[in-house]
Amino acid sequence: MESAPPPGWFSRLRSEGQSSSVDAENTASSCSLPRFPFLELTEELQHHVLSFIADAPFESLGNDDASATLTDVLPLVSKHFQKISRSNLLWKAAFYRAIESDNVWKRAARSRSLPIPSRSGNDDVDFRSLYRRLYHEEIAFTGPVFIMGMEDEDIPVRYSLYLFEPRYRLMVERLLNIHEEWQRKANANEDSGSCPPLHFLHAHRGLGRQGGQPCVALLVEIIRCMGMPTGHYDVTLQVDAIVRLERFWVEPNTGHLYHAYGRKIQSM
């Protein structure tokens, strides 16, 4: 057994700790550090300094925390910093940091649906709105979910599924109804060709947190869809990305068809 501390041991340590903290305070007060005159800088220099720490939401797409300096820190400091947090210069820096450092952002920026301006000659671009639009149109995804585990740990580039459950037949029918050309090709058992892409989520590890980790799913594109006389579908899929699911729900009157919302965290 460990011996008990001698009498007065705790009180002695406490008094020694207090004296050392008092000495530290006296040292700090006697050696005051010079303050950086941030507010005396020009507006351009203030923005330049803050650009090194002013990150935007989901610059790092794998991060669980959606908070960011530009949206959750600077606006709370003061009215002056709140104004700075809306600076086009800071959002421009965050925008180009994202599309130059993260593969998902890079791929999103190359999308034809959203023209990306060059670094020079774009003073009239609202980068805060552009950043938000690029995220919501190219990185965030909401759609139906197919739930079935995979035996292999390795994610295939392409694979096929035979969909016979009523809820998944409904899922495919709804997707095909978006474009008449897709309906025709499905009935003729033809490849998608130049048809607009159709996507859904494949929860290949189930729904809910997986081993304490956030739930992820595969974002898959239908490459070929063969409609069967029985009403079943044989679909060939291509994996576009891994999506971290933020939330999921069952849509009413669909035979328990799940929908989910999430963000791409890895392009394939």
Domains of the chain: 38-140 (1.20.1280), 141-267 (2.30.130.40)
Q: What is the pLDDT of residues 22-60, one digit of tens each?
A: 555 555 555 565 676 767 777 778 777 777 878 888 888
Copy the structure tokens of residue 117: 């301006």
Q: Supply the pLDDT for residue 12.
A: 42
In terms of residues, how long is the chain?
268
One-letter amino acid of 193? G
Alpha helices (runs of H) in the chain, residue ranges in sequence order: 9-30, 43-50, 74-77, 79-84, 88-101, 103-109, 127-134, 166-177, 180-187
Task: Judge whether residue 171 has pLDDT over 90.
Answer: yes
Distance CA 56, CA 69 (A): 7
Rounded average pLDDT over 72-101: 87
Task: Judge whether residue 13 has pLDDT over 50.
Answer: no
Are 98 and 128 spatial neighbours (Cβ–Cβ below 8 Å)?
no
CB-neighbour burial class of residue 175 (10 A; exposed 0-12, middle 13-18, buried 19+)? buried
One-letter amino acid of 44? E
One-letter amino acid of 5? P
In 3D, which of 223, 192, 205 has the Cα closest to residue 145? 205
- Give residue 230's Cα distance to chain centre: 39
- Give residue 157's Cα distance to chain centre: 22
CB atoms within 10 A of CB 147: 19
Distance CA 117, CA 130 (A): 10
Of 31 and 196, the one with more pLDDT: 196
Instruction: Give the pLDDT band (50/70/90) at residue 218.
Output: very high
Distance CA 218, CA 71 (A): 29
Instruction: Give the pLDDT band (50/70/90) at residue 214.
Output: confident
Rounded average pLDDT over 90-103: 88
Task: Classify residue 245 by its DSSP letter.
Answer: E
Tell me the DSSP string of 125-152: --HHHHHHHHIIIIIEEEEEEEE---SS
Of 102 and 186, the one with more pLDDT: 102
Q: Supply the pLDDT for residue 237.
A: 94
Q: Supply the pLDDT for residue 136.
A: 92
Q: Tell me the sheet residues that pair with 143.
A: 260
Least confident of 102-106, 119-123, 228-232: 119-123
N-to-C CA span, the chain: 59
